[in-house]
């Protein structure tokens, strides 16, 4: 095992709750739940005080109320969480050589080679202190030889903690932990291994690679490597240019606005589906049009992190109305989503009704089975451009 990497994993503590506490300090120290309050609502996030009662994200609001009747429910505000996330990213990005925004509330920082100029642990400590001072939001970090161990170190020292695991300490750190602590090890895999008596990382790490492959396929080898403290995945530079998009050149130049709005809807549904399949959220949407004289005009907008069709369609149409000024025939329409981070849609978890997101999930399930074009809106069925 080599110890030539210096990877910092920084993770906000109960991020959504922390943002709410910053806005309303009276919530501090209380069991706070972010989510819908009706029986059909879902917990999007909760404070550490609420977690002591067994409450966790994705739990139904009804169950959360039973476990902790005195819990304070707060309807979430994705605008505020997105702004806070970008605020933190800006502070980190300006001060480190290589950063990956892994999700709305966590970052990986590669300080490899910089330890000759900075003591990495001291630097990480000072950087964490700066984020807390500048944002008034709590944050924890783990420092180790790769992304897996640094993330697990962070999880062990949260909330409001710091933990450095050197190369020689990795095995002793990992061995006593539950296999549930391994990033990427899902519930089904946990149950399968537990039923075989494999509950600690020490036990898992002793299994032969061939046996792990037989048990779990290719994913088994990845899990085994993580159990042994091995992870070669690089810190991927965070870039605002990272994006997915689509564009369409018309068969004939057109000014048919009904057709154009339907096309924008179809394009957004396509890229939003791709977004969800990649388990990502977007914070920026761009519309591009090309007039019949080949003039291109682009308009973009920053938005709260989302992957939900309805939010993106509404914003795309709004941008089109802003950018289409000449009332000239159009040749091309394009939609692009950028500022992507890993994550799952949270917006509808804050409302008392999940019908909209449930519909999107059902449509995605059909698409995975029968293809991306297997289900669409009725208004788009006759779209021919």
Catalytic residues: 106
Residue 150: name the closest of 161, 141, 160, 159 by CA.
Answer: 141
Q: Measuring CA to CA, how many Å separate 260 from each of 268, 320, 330, 331, 333?
A: 12, 10, 9, 11, 8
> Half-sphere exposure (CA, 13 Å, Cβ side) for 277?
16
3-state DSSP call for residue 86? Answer: helix
106-110 and 7-12 strand pairing: antiparallel
Residue 150: name the closest of 162, 139, 160, 138 by CA.
Answer: 162
Q: Tokens in use for 42?
A: 């879902």
Bridge partners of 162, per DSSP, are: 141
Cα–Cα distance for residue pair 256/271, rounded to 1 Å:
23
Cα–Cα distance for residue pair 206/192, rounded to 1 Å:
17
| Strand (E) or helix (H) holding 286 | strand 280-291
Cα–Cα distance for residue pair 5/167, rounded to 1 Å:
9
């Amino acid at each position: 095992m080599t110890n030539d990497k210096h990877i910092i994993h920084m993770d906000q503590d109960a991020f959504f709750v922390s943002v709410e506490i910053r806005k309303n300090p009276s919530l501090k120290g209380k069991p706070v739940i972010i989510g819908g309050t009706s029986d059909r609502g879902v917990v999007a996030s909760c404070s550490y005080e609420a977690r002591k009662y067994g409450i966790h994200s994705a739990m139904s609001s009804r169950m959360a109320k039973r476990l902790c009747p005195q819990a304070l429910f707060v309807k979430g505000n994705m605008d505020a969480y997105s702004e806070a996330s970008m605020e933190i990213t800006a502070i980190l990005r300006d001060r480190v050589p290589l950063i990956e925004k892994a999700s709305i509330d966590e970052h990986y920082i590669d300080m490899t080679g910089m330890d000759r100029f900075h003591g990495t642990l001291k630097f990480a400590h000072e950087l964490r202190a700066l984020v807390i001072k500048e944002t008034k939001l709590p944050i924890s970090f783990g420092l180790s030889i790769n992304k897996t161990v640094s993330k697990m170190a962070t999880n062990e020292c949260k909330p409001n903690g710091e933990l450095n695991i050197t190369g020689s300490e990795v095995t002793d750190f990992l061995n006593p932990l539950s296999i549930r602590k391994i990033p990427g090890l899902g519930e089904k895999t946990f149950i399968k291994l537990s039923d075989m008596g494999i509950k600690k990382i020490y036990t898992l790490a002793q299994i032969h690679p061939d046996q792990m492959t037989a048990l779990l396929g290719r994913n088994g080898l990845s899990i085994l490597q993580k159990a042994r403290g091995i992870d070669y995945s690089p810190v991927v530079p965070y870039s605002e240019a990272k994006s997915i998009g689509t564009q369409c050149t018309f068969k004939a130049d057109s000014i048919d606005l009904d057709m154009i709005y339907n096309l924008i809807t179809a394009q957004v549904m396509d890229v939003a589906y791709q977004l969800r399949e990649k388990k990502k959220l977007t914070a920026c949407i761009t519309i591009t049009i090309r007039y019949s004289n080949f003039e291109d005009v682009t308009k973009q907008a920053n938005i709260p992190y989302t992957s939900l069709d309805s939010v993106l369609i509404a914003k795309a149409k709004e941008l089109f109305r802003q950018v289409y000024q000449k009332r000239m025939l159009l040749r091309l329409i394009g939609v692009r989503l950028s500022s992507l981070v890993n994550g799952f849609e949270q917006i509808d978890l804050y409302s008392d009704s999940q019908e909209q997101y449930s519909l999107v999930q059902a449509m995605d399930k059909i698409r995975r089975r029968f293809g991306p074009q297997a289900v669409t809106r009725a208004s788009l069925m006759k779209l021919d451009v």
